[in-house]
Amino acid sequence: MIFEIENLNFEYSSHIVLKDLNLSVLKGEFFSIIGPNGTGKSTLLRLMAGFLKPSRGNIKFMGYHLQKFNPLELARKRAFVSQDNFINFPYTAYEIVLMGRFPYLRNFQIETKEDHDIVRSAMEKTSTTHIATRSITDLSGGERQRVMIAKALAQNPSVLLLDEPTSGLDINYQIDIMDHLRLLNRHEKVTIIMVIHDLNLAGQYSDRILLLSKGRTYATGSPEEVITEQNIEEVFSLKVNIDKEPERGFPRLMLISRVL
């Protein structure tokens, strides 16, 4: 068990964001969090990453209370890829990925050969080796996102938390990022937890899905169990057509206009 969450409540200036949430994520799972805007998906992810503190309730991470970990310990076990990666200092992609080694180094310690090997392999896994010497400020959105994932991998995490990793990318890059994550998940046994808006991608890649509605769990389970016409209509107030992808059987969703 990577995460065990009990009765999690989170309030922000007396506005309730998450209410009585229970959730567990298994080791090695590819887990997605879906739901409408403003239902607390990103908040939940930040709580799991230890950046926000719960108002009430409990988050256990790898068997221990999340609060017991100091920032450095945490940074060696989990990594976070956020949605907005704006960087205005012209670091090279390689230097950015090298920062992923921060939690393993002392103040004046110079990176060892091992650190550089880990960085190189992280860049290979994310296909960013060819842009290693380019400035992060000159990269396209998709390239920058992959560099940020490489930085997260350089932390050698058991869990990778991602906040909408495919937002703002074209379809080629979307599949590219998701495939890279899938390979990491299956080959390197990295547990993946992500917030994602694209229900087709969520349905295709996830082992399990959490559907949030107004800060509460609406449904959890396999993609077929969660992504149903009834659930989606209820939570998103939108009529959709869902059928089965003929070859692999994951739910396939078609959006329908309200006026046409």
| Interface pick for other proteins out of 54, 103, 165, 223 (rule CB under 8 A) | 103
Place of tokens 């074209």: 170
CB-based contact 137:90 (threshold 8 Å):
yes
Amino acid identity of 148? M
Nearer to other proteins, 16 or 87 (CB): 87
Give yes or no for residue 259 binding other proteins (CB under 8 A): no
Give yes or no for residue 74 binding other proteins (CB under 8 A): yes
With a CB cutoff of 8 Å and minimum separation 6, the contacts of 197 are 34, 164, 167
- In this structure, what token pair is assigned to residue 113? 């050969």
Burial class (CB in 10 A: 0-12, 13-18, 19+), 24: middle
Nearer to other proteins, 10 or 80 (CB): 80
Give yes or no for residue 75 binding other proteins (CB under 8 A): yes
Nearer to other proteins, 96 or 202 (CB): 96
Task: Report the C-alpha gap between 116 and 238 in whole angstroms.
Answer: 49
Give yes or no for residue 71 binding other proteins (CB under 8 A): yes
Nearer to other proteins, 7 or 83 (CB): 83
Closest Cα partner for 169 from 179, 154, 158, 161?
179
Number of residues that bind other proteins (CB under 8 A): 33
Nearer to other proteins, 92 or 129 (CB): 92
Residues numbered 149 to 208 that lie near other proteins (CB under 8 A) are: 155
Give yes or no for residue 221 binding other proteins (CB under 8 A): no
Give yes or no for residue 107 binding other proteins (CB under 8 A): yes
Phi, psi of 56 (to 5 degrees): -145, 160
State CA 67 to chain mean position distance: 20
Please give the residue ranges that form the binding site for other proteins (CB under 8 A). Answer: 49-51, 70-76, 78-80, 82, 87-92, 95-96, 99-100, 102-103, 105, 107-108, 110, 135, 138, 155
